[in-house]
Structure 1
Amino acid sequence: MLAAVVFVPSAPLLVPELVGPSAFDTEPVRSAVGDALAGAVAIGVDRWVVVGASDDPVTGPVREAGSGSFARFGVDVRVSLSDETGPRMSLSMLVGAWLHEWASLGPASACVVGRESTPDECAGIGAELAARLGESAERIGLLVVGDGSTALTPKAPGGGRRESAVALNDAIVAAIGGADTAALAALRPEPCDAEGVGGRVAWQVAAAAVENCGSAVVAKTGYAGAPFGVGYIVATWTVTGDRA
């Protein structure tokens, strides 16, 4: 059964070895992620599913290796999520695996979604995930890894600040912060791609999973900001029971 959904950024900066001791801008994000994961553990989660987008421009479910390294980001920090074999881990899975180890979470598996999956494909993947969750007596948490727009500040990596990117990111923050599954399902690939949104497919899969589980949730946002021009949100949806 679904117990909680935790949204975190797909940000290598969460890993201290990759940013160095003087990167003070990273601490509020990392602290919020730690608090969110600790809160989910406190309510009782037996098993985790890490949901994130693939690096490769593909669609549908993707199989990747369960272990990998941040070496391509500058430091050979190794992580492991499972004993799966396959192509190298995408960034979302590297981050998810690091958080899994850092927060000492329970057993985990991966749900990697092709980053070019359509909203309908994401809805189908989410429905299948919900069916598996419903068959389990364990309390399961979804760790949903994804970033918002990349053009939120003048020096943002997406080409500087764009008001269209800010507006889209604000809408995403509101949807996640309000557990608005319909708004997340309605995100369109074209504007998300244009504004550098990396989390769309992961968020849409999670939204569909919650919808198909028939679960009522209480949402709490722990962090929403753009310390490096990229939209990061940390939030938790705690399952409170079936919808009336």
Structure 2
Amino acid sequence: MFAAAAVCPHPPLLVPALAAGAGGEIEPVRAAARESLRRVLAADPDLMVCVGDAPAARTWGTGAAGSLAAYGVDVCVGGPDPMESEALPLALTVGAWLLDESGYVGERRYVGVPDSFDPARCADLGASLAARAGRVGFLVMGDGSARRDERAPGAVDPRAPGWDARVVASLGSGDLDGLRGLQPDLARELLAAGRAAWQVLAGAADSVVGRRLEASVLADEAPYGVGYFVASWRLDGLG
């Protein structure tokens, strides 16, 4: 059953060892991410599921590992489990770092969701993940548009701020229809890497009937022209 979720972005700079010289721009996002995950763990999950963008659909177990060496510092997180031969992709590697830093030592699943998954397939995946344990906590990794301003990796797109604002409003109110309504084609045009993961979250939360969802946004920042959002979701009365 879905119990709680932390929604976090996945820039490598979230990891302090990679943020040397970056100033304090990322610190509010990092602090909010820690708090959102603390709230999930307060719900005492039986299983933590980390969901994020990946080249192909795949699930990794508790012992999976990832590395941020490609970003300049040899930071390794998770595992290692010799049975997990494929390293975690970036979004899940940053998620593994957050779980490691939180001190969580329970069972984990890392779930890669490719951009090719449409909203219905994402929702079905979320519902199936929520059914994997009595209390399932989610760590949902995803960035907003990377076309917000001149600092962004992509060319500025005037639609980006409004699109990101819609995502933030949906995350802050627990609006499942708002997340399900995000169109894959527009998300691709805006270079938003979180669309599929957020729609998996909507499917997971929608699997709970008759319980009120507490939702709040802890951070809404764009320090490098990319939308970084942190949100906390949990069922009323848990944690």
TM-score (norm 2): 0.90
Post-superposition, which runs of at least 4 consecutive aligned residues in structure 1 deviate over 3 A? 81-84
Query: 1:3: how far off?
Result: 1.8
Aligned residues: 233
Q: 2:145 aligns with which of 135, 144, 149?
A: 149
Q: Cα RMSD over matched residues?
A: 2.0
SS of residue in 2 equivalent to 1:51: strand
Whole-angstrom distance in 1 between the partners of 2:3 and 2:128: 17
Q: 1:212 aligns with which of 203, 207, 217?
A: 207
SS of residue in 2 equivalent to 1:24: coil
Query: 1:140: how far off?
Result: 2.3
SS of residue in 1 equivalent to 2:185: helix
Residue equivalent to 2:179: 184
Instruction: Indicate the structure with greater helix content.
Output: 1
Query: 1:123: how far off?
Result: 1.8
Alignment map for 1:3-22 (pairs within 5 Å): 3-20=3-20, 22=22
Residue equivalent to 1:121: 121
Residues 20-59 of structure 1: per-residue CA shift (max 9 Å, x gap): 15521111111111121222323433431101110x2x4x
The 1:48–1:200 alpha-carbon spacing in structure 2 relative to 1, beyond 3 Å, is: same
Query: 1:152: how far off?
Result: 1.2
Q: Which amino acid aligns with 2:181?
A: A
After alignment, is 176-185 or 115-124 more displaced?
115-124
Q: Is residue 146–residue 203 contact of structure 1 (8 Å, CA) maintained in 2?
A: yes
Structure 2 runs not aligned, ≥5 long: none
Residue equivalent to 1:227: 223
Structure 1 runs not aligned, ≥5 long: none
Whole-angstrom distance in 1 between the partners of 2:129 and 2:148: 33
Q: Is residue 46–residue 106 contact of structure 1 (8 Å, CA) maintained in 2?
A: no
1:201 aligns with 2:196: yes
Whole-angstrom distance in 2 between the partners of 1:158 and 1:81: 34
The 1:43–1:120 alpha-carbon spacing in structure 2 relative to 1, beyond 3 Å, is: closer
1:80 aligns with 2:78: yes
SS of residue in 2 equivalent to 1:129: helix
Query: 1:213: how far off?
Result: 2.4
Residue equivalent to 2:58: 62
Q: Which amino acid aligns with 1:80?
A: G
